[in-house]
Chain A
């Protein structure tokens, strides 16, 4: 078994037009920037991009490659000029943007990978998020029915991996990468280092290799969402 591919183009080869693409990372941490660039270069169009931050989905929207984004943030938290561009794209019908409570987004992704069709959550009750959703009361509290969100492709970022696809994450970068690895037909991991099978501590593997289809080594990209001051 060898899931390691030799370069980024090979890593994203075969991603089809119209795919649902899940992208990992949070707030600029653990974002698979190399795979994002590679998929933009690969050329797939009409994508639905699912991520938490606009830093991952906005390049696909801006380059006309995504027809829809599903995200905790359909605006940009700190760059109003990007929010303005997105607002215009949505109003003109060039982009569909679905804002989802972040915990609900991750649970929909987790459910998709774990074989759960749907679940009830209290998040969003009494807000615009409840529109069109079944509402049900359990133990005197209202909940919304949310359905699983399946990906065709997941782009994730790890620190180290072996050829079986076992991935270790560093510090707070496991975040969404750990959640979504299980949820796509094709899960592609970019990692900073590929290590020999047997060298990872079995108790410290963050993403079991069964969830990972391709592994590619790529240099870590550092981009800050904000600086220290705010």
Chain B
């Protein structure tokens, strides 16, 4: 089996889910890359936990960096016209109160029921919850963007999460380097495979049995 999509192409596929007029939060890690692939002709407003609506891309040119203007991953960003700021309690009200259309988070594990584990590795007593518990329960749609397996090749999509949970039954869509999967009451529905990857190959590195969509297709990138 080939390795499937690069991190950037996973981000590109996630970006295709974002539509004009949406308010979207991009989490730490791979989800952050999504901001590089937003369609230029649409108003998609990116929310950042510290109290920012309407940032643009991550700035690579150090001469433009301003430490007063970063995203929630601590990276320097710019603003789009129409951006605004608020305090952090209000910002989490936007999240918890159900005002975000989409939240994109990374994950250590996702279960077939949409449980999410993404804040603590099992062997540690410390961990990084950050805003993940609010982002997981608050957005209207939670998309997980992650590698399909661990570095050791173990499935990250599992029957039941063995790591401490971030939230129960919240993940709606999983996008990985191999597949696009919807979490439904009937189970995990495989809707798209990465170019050169078969449904059987995706199943071989996925814990629960996948329901193959009747219109299974190759991802358009």
Contacts and interface: CB of A to CB of B under 8 A. Distances in A.
Interface residues of A, number: 57
A111 B166 CA distance: 24
Contacts of B76: 224, 228
Main secondary structure of the interface of B (DSSP, over half): loop
A22 to B, nearest CB: 12
A72 B131 contact: yes
A169 B22 CA distance: 28
Of A52, A106, A173, the most chain B CB neighbours within 10 A belong to: A106
A103 B126 contact: no
A224 B168 CA distance: 34
Contacts of B125: 87, 90-91, 97
Nearest to A91: B125
What size tier do the contact residues of chain B reach?
Answer: 35 or more
B133 A26 contact: no
A75 B128 contact: yes
Q: Quick one: which of A101, A110, A222 has the most chain B CB within 10 A?
A: A101
Interface in B10-59: 28-29, 32, 48-52, 58-59
B133 A129 contact: yes
Contacts of A228: 58-60, 62, 65, 75-76
Interface in B100-135: 115, 119-120, 124-134
B68 interface: yes
Nearest to A24: B88
B92 interface: yes
B82 interface: no
A101 B67 contact: no
B196 interface: no
For B49, B67, B70, the residue with the greatest tally of chain A CB atoms inside 10 Å of its CB is B67
Interface string A19-31: 0000000111110
A174 interface: yes
B74 A74 contact: no
A200 interface: no
B127 A123 contact: no
A223 B67 contact: yes
A102 B134 contact: yes
Nearest to B67: A222
B171 to A, nearest CB: 13
Contact of B52 (A86, A121, A172, A176): A172
B211 interface: no
Nearest to A222: B67
Given A87-B126, A125-B168, A127-B165, A29 B50 contact: yes
A112 to B, nearest CB: 11
B27 to A, nearest CB: 11
A123 B119 CA distance: 14
A77 B130 contact: yes
Interface of B: 28-29, 32, 48-52, 58-60, 62, 65-76, 85-89, 91-92, 95-96, 115, 119-120, 124-134, 137-138, 164-168
A-B interface, 10 closest residue pairs, ranked by CB to CB distance from nearest: A225-B74, A103-B92, A178-B87, A126-B168, A103-B134, A101-B133, A175-B50, A27-B74, A26-B50, A74-B126
